[in-house]
Structure formats: structure tokens, C-alpha cells
Structure 1
Amino acid sequence: MPLFCTIFFINNKVAIFYINAMTLKKIIHIDMDCFYASIEMRDNPSLKDKPLAVGGNSRQRGVLTTCNYLARQFGLHSAMPTAQAVKLCPNLILVPVNMPLYKQISKQIHSIFHRYTDLVEPLSLDEAYLDVTHCHQCSGSATWIAEEIRKTIFKETGLTASAGVAPVKFLAKIASDCNKPNGSFVINPQDVDDFVKKLPLKKIPGVGKVTTERLLKMGLKTCEDVQNFDQSVLLNQFGKMGMRLWYFAHGVDERDVQPNRERKSVTVEKTLLKNITHIEQGLAILEKLYPILITRIKNTCPNIALSDFHKVGVKLKFDDFTVTTLEKSAVEFSKDIFKQLLIKIWQRSNGREIRLIGIQVTIPEQCPQKQMTLW
């Protein structure tokens, strides 16, 4: 259990008082259950017992945004190409994305969160962190607050949510997935050590497939493995990510719930109807993306001049669905810079076809930013 120590000098002797930092916070992570699909099933009950997905048309290179739990039994998941999903589940019912409706219901759900605390950090339309450390409702019990929120969401929207309760953010997020759907899971401060030791590293937010494979090759499968590992080797291999892993593997997460998360970048990307192979085709697409990016920047950061953006990037997704990005700092914002990056990153295709192109800018930290809302 992570401890903070405070040192006092009493009668010329050192007195060290250890304070358990984990008891200082009560964090809830609320995650709606297959949010978009649940809304569609709520509004059309005939869909409830059928495999359902929300996403783009397979003929237009679409991907699934989400799917219900029956569809997931066939191996379907978010971001899966619709064409592949239909092959795995021939009886799949596909409905188009209705974003205005989803945003409206998300706003309703987030208003419920704010009945308990103003310390709400939205992660997306369907999930958020809540810091209820100083909430006096439900006798101050984070467990009871989470249950009451879930019941209120169902009563007012007809949708189910799952909740995780823990002393720190990353554990609350992991906990919310433990009893899905329509469940909750609590990690009490005194149980953190035992829970973390057994926790597979792949469960830690931000640890993807590639990182998991690298860790397994190093003999690291659980957080306890990391606890017994050489920290310097971990940092040399993974850098900042290695430090994050080290702290999380010890149950330490000092991040606060941030009600006003600052947006760090502005991005525009396009999934192509047909794969392309020639750089001339990519440059033609860039011509269309560039003015869209400028418009989005002006809407997102109205107080920042284009000349203040000095870090840009280009992203490609290949026909094997691998993704690569190339960024450059200390440059002048211009279309020519994006062209240069696109030409350079194109060499990584090695004969593979391109199915997505994206361009982005990093918002300068020293400049004031407009806080984006979910709605």
C-alpha cells in the first residue's frame, strides 16, 4: 500500500508519521454498457434479442462504432471493419450512427453525475471519472453513490451502466469492467495490494497488444512481476511508459480527476472508400483535408494564430490495419510541411495499400485554449 511520510523533529528526535494516501480519495468510474447499441435497442425493442451493431456500411469501408453483447459472442468489437463483422456474424443487424441522439442522452447522463460532484472528468460520451471524496450524499459512501447513480441512470434513461470504485483513477477504470454489463466492482483501500499483485499488465489502461507482447518477452505478465523487476531496465526499455507501468504496478496513481481537461491536438482523418497505392492520390486527399483542419483549428482554438502551431503530424493506416504516424516539431504551419511529411511517411508502406490518411497539429501549451465540450 503506497504511503506518504511526514517527518517531524520532536525533542531533537525524528518522528516519522506514515499516512495512507489511498484513503484520501474516492474515485468512481462510470461506463455505459454498449452505449450506442443500447440506445438503439431501447428505442426499438425488437432488436434486443438480435446481434446488433452501430457503424458504417460495409460497402463504404465502414467500421463498427459499438455492438451489443450478443454480437460480441461472435467476436465482434468496436473499430472492426463492417465487412469483416458481417462475415463473422451473417445475421448482424447494422444501424447507422445517430450522433445527435447519442449526444443528447450523454448530456442527460452527465447531468446526473453533477448532482453528486462537480469533479467530473468526461472521457467520452459514455464514460467519466467522478471524485466523490467530499460528497456527503449516501452517507459519503462511494459504493452507495455509484449504485445510486446507476439506478438513477436506468430510471431516467432506461439504459444500464457499470461502475468501478477505487482509491485511484486507473483502478476505478479497471474495476468498472469487472462486472459488466450492469454491475459494479469495489476495490477498497485495504485490498489494493492484493488486487494489484494479481492484475495482468494487459489490463492497465494504455497497455496495448504490442506493449503486452514486449512485456511477456521480458517475463512480465502481472503487476507483481513488475514489482520484483529491475526498475532501471523497465525505464530503459519503455521510457515514460515504463515509469507509468512501475507506479501503476505498485498501485500508485497520483492523477486528479480533471473537470476541465485541455485538448492537446486537433486532428482530421479520412477512411477511404477504396485503398490507394500512389503518393499522387495521397496528396490529392491532403488537399481536401487541409482546409478542413484549418476550419477545425479556428473553431477549437479561436485565440491561437495558425503561426503559433509548430508541431504537426501525418497518420497512415495500411490495408493490414497497422497504423503509423510521423510528427515534426519546430516547423512553420503550412500545407507544404504536411506534403513533405506525407511523402516521407509514404515510404513506410512497403507496397501495402493505404486505407486511411490523417493530419494533425499539437496545440501549443503556452497559449490559451478553448475548452471543448462533449456537446
Structure 2
Amino acid sequence: MEAEDQSDDFTYNSVAIQSSEKHDRVIIHIDIDCFYAQVEMILNPSLRGKPLGIKQKNIVVTCNYEARALGVEKLMSIKTALEKCPSLVLANGEDLKKYRDMSEKIYQILQSFSPFVEKLGLDENFIDITHKINKSSETTTEVSGHIFQNEDEVCTCGCNDRLKEGSVIAQEIRNQLKAELGITTCAGIACNKLLAKLVGATHKPNQQTTLFPASSLKLIKSLKHPRNIPGIGSAMNRKLEALGIDTIEKLQFTDLFKLIEAFGAKTANQIQQLSFGIDDSRVKITDKPKSIGAEDGFPTIKTESEVRKKLKCLLDRVWELVEKDGRRPSQVKLTVRKLHATNHSVREARQTAIDFMTGVTSNVTIGPLNENQEKKVITTLMNLFEKVVNCDESWQVTLLGISFSGFPSGIESPAKNSINKYFTSSSRPNEPLQPPAKRSRFDESVLQELPPDIRQEVLEEIQQLPSSSTSQQPEDFDCPKGVDPQIFRELPLEIQNELLAEEKKKKQILTKKPNNLLQYFRKV
């Protein structure tokens, strides 16, 4: 009887929560099928049809579907992968440049459909197309692709018709990505970001699925474990398990005050809302990175000439990224990992303002560094190095990093290939912002079709984009220094712990020739 009462309460609460949620948005989640592998097959068509794995040192970070069918899995060791699939072809994926280039091309195509595009790593994007949906209730659009467990119940707010139309637009987006770039994708169409991401994974590869709000609880409950909800990470999941919450249904039924005691009011409310499939977060226009840099770890070096040589190589790599970004930096930062006599390593960083482009106006596209500019940057970096390391005494260094920041804000000096350049900030405070006469990144039709209130919202959001900063990584993200966070997030928990343990161990002993997992995930 008690179980029946609980079920009744659950049904009542679910209906109450769902009825309080608005279904007025249409969100598409685009996920590129086996992204790294697809890029390799596009660059080298002879790889198509063969089992292909992308390696970073001794790890297969991802693979194509032919390899998966033969037992190869993401983040599997190369040794194990070859045992399962002797015919596996391995491509080196340590240089991320080709993947970044393809990711940017994908992003530009998505922005031709809507200015509201939010990147998740290199291979995922959210798109809010609400403003493109026909508001007429007379639409007879049929769903393009799959429907997740369609319910007979139809919401009175008209969301089903809006989502049907959204599925057609999603198909158009995917068709264009395939036609222009040769990329196949999966898509999820729903009324919020969480549900769009989840439902898009139900039919793969190269397919799309629409979720109507009446079926959202079935989708959420099919996940079973809270860890499967995006936004609930491994650390939070361990806390939930300590509270005896090991299923999504238990999370839904848990007294909110119990969650508040463990996580605080904001997080407690958020994760319980997520457990019901409710996500009010907006699709945020992806901004340019606040800093651009790279690090390089190596066996111990002990002379200034070796440091200068390493910095020259590192600068060549980093400046290539700055050139592509197109913005003019005003700050440079040097990161050094040095070994102390007490046999532990310490990372230190110093930064300074730098103007090595004297006489070059801000509207000129960033190009390669000439000899004098390069010399000035290296001299500046060596001066910073001497502030970190006392060169008059013996020293040992095992890592160097360079990053540029202090880029002009989007409104004052629009970046190359940035959404900011398509709008002017010359309007008076009380006047609506206006786009300039010429634009090259957005299609003219996209901007013209935006309703005035939506268009103003886009402009206001651009103005609120954060100013430049030297921080690239969230402070609360527990990731070893010098490790690619995107790869680290996907690693199984035991491998994450192994990497963190190795980082700790390296602080206790003198560094010898690198031979540990950390070397396999260096940022490029």
C-alpha cells in the first residue's frame, strides 16, 4: 500500500512539475558521429570502411563504428584494442589543430541557421531555433526522423507542433553539414537543452530523434542512474551515493531539504529539477576564448639556451592559434614547472603587458610574427623566466607554457570571425543597437528574420560577454595540470584517479624521462 501511495505522490508531483514548466523553446542538440575518426576519414578517404582508432600515445581515445563493431571501445589501451581487433588502423590524434579547424567550420554553418549556438567541446553544439518556428497553430508539419515513445497526450501549449517544425529544421542543418563538409551527425530536438542532448543519443549514428514533453519523464527514468544525467559529475554522484541515492527515482523522491544540507540550496534545487527533465538554462552564444596558449612537458632541462629553444618552438605553435583567432593580444603569460632541491615540483606563472606590434593598427588582421616581433616576445618571456627561476643558482625545469590574453572586447574591437563584428556599438544608450550594413559570417536572411525582441536580446548578450582573462579552465574542475581537460573528462574514474596520483607522486621525486599517462594527454 505504501508503494502505491509513493507512486501516486510521484505521479502527482511529476504532473505538477511538468505543468509548471514552459515548453515554448525549440532546442536542437547536434552531436558529430565519432568526430575525430570522421575528420581523419575525410582527410584520408582510403580509411573509410576500415576499423579506425584515434590514438594519443597508448590510448585509443575514440574510434569509428566499424572498430566498435569489432569490440574496440573509446579510451581503451592500444594493446587491448589490437588484441580485440588485429586489423585496427591507428591514426595519431595528438595534434588537435585539424579537429579544431573542422569544429570551427561546423560552428559557422550552424550560425547560418541561428545566432544562438553554444559549443560543447569540439563535437557538440546546442542551437536555439525558437525564433524560426512558425507561430501559426495551423501547421501540419510531420516529424522528420524518429519520435521518442510518442504519447497520445498532446500539450495544449502547441509545443508538439513547434517541435515537429524544429525536427524539419534539424534535418536541414544535418543535410547542409553533410553536403558542405561530409560530416554525419546525430540530433536531438526537445524543449530544453538537457532533453535535447539526452534524446539525441537514443538513435545513432546519423539519425535524429524528437522528444515531446509528455514523454520526457520516460526518457529520464530510462537513464536509471543519476550519473547518467548531464550536469551530475563523478564527485557529486559519490555524494549522492553516500546519501543512499543511487537511482534517478530516489533522487526525485528525496526530500529537498536533505539535498540542500548536502549541496546547498542552488545545487540541490538544480539537480532535483534535472532528475525530472527540467532545464531552464539558455543556449549561450559561444564567445572567443579568453586566452590562447599551450604547454609542453619534457625531461629536465638546466640551461637558458635550452629554455630559449623550447620557448621558440612553443611560440610557433601558439602564435599559429592566435593568427587563426584574429584578435590582437596585449598580455603574455609564462608558466614554468621547476624542481626544488627538496625534490618536489612547483608550477609558477608570471605575466606582463606586451606591445610587439608598434605601428600596426588594431583593424589589421593578425599575421605571422616578423623577426623583430619574435625576438621581442622571446626576450619578454626570458625576462619572466628569470623572475620565476634564479638563473644564478642551479635549477631544473620540466614544463614551459605560453599563453596570450588581454584581447580587445567584442564591442570595442570586434574579433575576426566573431559574432561581435556584425553589430555596431555606436548607438546611444537609449537607442536599440543596429547591425552594420555589411556582414560576412551570418546570412543576411538569418538576421532579417529575427523578431525585434530576439534580435535585441542577441545584441545585449554580446555586450555582456565577459572581458578577457587569463583563466581558461574552471577553478572547480579537478584536472591535472597540463592535461587536456576534454579528454580527461571522458576517462573512466579509475584512470582519472591514476593520473591524479601520478601528478602527486611527481611532486615527491625527481623527474626522469617521462613515461606516465600524463604525457598522453598534453594540450596541443
Considering the TM-score relative to the shorter chain, is it more than 0.5? Answer: yes
* Cα distance per residue 1:8-66 (max 9 Å; x no partner): xxxxxxxxxx97543111111000000120122234344233321123343xxxx4342
Deviation at 1:236, TM superposition (A): 3.0
Q: Structure 1 residues 147, 129: closer, same or farther in 2, change over 3 A?
A: same
Match of 2:189 among 148, 165, 187: 165
Q: Structure 1 residues 236, 344: closer, same or farther in 2, change over 3 A?
A: farther
Letter in 1 for 2:480: K
Larger Rg: 2
Partner of 1:254: 280
* Cα distance per residue 1:282-322 (max 9 Å; x no partner): 449998577525x3455799x7688xxxx799836899541
* Cα distance per residue 1:242-297 (max 9 Å; x no partner): 443211012221110000358688886667789xxx9747449998577525x345
How do residues 232-271 of structure 1 correspond to structure 2 at under 5 angstroms? 232-239=257-264, 241-261=267-287
Tell whether 2:71 aligns with 1:71: no
Deviation at 1:158, TM superposition (A): 2.1
Distance 1:111 1:314 in 2: 30
Tell whether 2:87 aligns with 1:91: yes
Distance 1:246 1:267 in 2: 38
Partner of 1:56: 56
- Contact persistence 2:199–2:219 (CA under 8 A): no
- Contact persistence 1:106–1:126 (CA under 8 A): yes
Letter in 2 for 1:70: E
Letter in 2 for 1:356: L
Deviation at 1:209, TM superposition (A): 4.9
CA RMSD of aligned residues (A): 4.4
Letter in 1 for 2:60: L
Q: Which runs of 5+ in 2 are unaligned?
A: 1-13, 142-161, 301-338, 350-384, 386-396, 410-466, 489-493, 509-514, 520-524
* Cα distance per residue 1:141-174 (max 9 Å; x no partner): 1111112211222222222100011111111111
Distance 1:247 1:130 in 2: 22
- Contact persistence 2:346–2:507 (CA under 8 A): no
Tell whether 2:380 aligns with 1:356: no
How do residues 23-172 of structure 1 correspond to structure 2 at under 5 angstroms? 23-58=23-58, 63-73=59-69, 74-78=71-75, 80-83=76-79, 85-97=81-93, 99-136=96-133, 141-172=165-196
- When structure 1 is superposed on structure 2, of 213-222 and 182-191 the one drifting more is 213-222
Distance 1:261 1:3 in 2: 37
Q: Structure 1 residues 155, 267: closer, same or farther in 2, change over 3 A?
A: closer
Q: Structure 1 residues 250, 314: closer, same or farther in 2, change over 3 A?
A: closer
Tell whether 2:227 aligns with 1:227: no
- When structure 1 is superposed on structure 2, of 196-205 and 233-242 the one drifting more is 233-242
Deviation at 1:95, TM superposition (A): 1.0
Distance 2:173 2:116 in 1: 15
Partner of 2:152: none
Q: Which runs of 5+ in 1 are unaligned?
A: 5-17, 326-341, 348-352, 358-375
Tell whether 2:480 aligns with 1:315: yes
Deviation at 1:194, TM superposition (A): 3.3
Residue identity over aligned pairs, in percent, reads 29
Letter in 1 for 2:518: L
Partner of 2:3: none
- Contact persistence 2:27–2:193 (CA under 8 A): yes
Distance 1:314 1:321 in 2: 8
Letter in 2 for 1:292: G
Letter in 2 for 1:67: C
- Contact persistence 1:198–1:224 (CA under 8 A): no
Partner of 1:337: none
Match of 1:185 among 204, 209, 220: 209
Q: Structure 1 residues 263, 112: closer, same or farther in 2, change over 3 A?
A: closer
Distance 1:248 1:160 in 2: 29
Q: How many residues align?
A: 312
- Contact persistence 1:271–1:356 (CA under 8 A): no
Q: TM-score, normalised by structure 1?
A: 0.66
Letter in 2 for 1:135: K
Distance 1:345 1:233 in 2: 40
How do residues 16-27 of structure 1 correspond to structure 2 at under 5 angstroms? 21-27=21-27
Q: Structure 1 residues 132, 96: closer, same or farther in 2, change over 3 A?
A: same
Paired residue secondary structure (1:125): coil
Distance 2:290 2:251 in 1: 30
Paired residue secondary structure (2:22): helix
Distance 1:285 1:45 in 2: 45
Tell whether 2:368 aligns with 1:203: no
Distance 1:289 1:2 in 2: 58
Distance 1:219 1:284 in 2: 39
Deviation at 1:118, TM superposition (A): 0.8
Deviation at 1:344, TM superposition (A): 11
Partner of 2:401: 292
Letter in 1 for 2:90: L
Distance 1:42 1:35 in 2: 11
Q: Structure 1 residues 320, 170: closer, same or farther in 2, change over 3 A?
A: closer
- Contact persistence 2:50–2:89 (CA under 8 A): yes
Partner of 1:364: none
Q: Structure 1 residues 256, 344: closer, same or farther in 2, change over 3 A?
A: same
- When structure 1 is superposed on structure 2, of 134-143 and 47-56 the one drifting more is 134-143
Paired residue secondary structure (1:182): coil
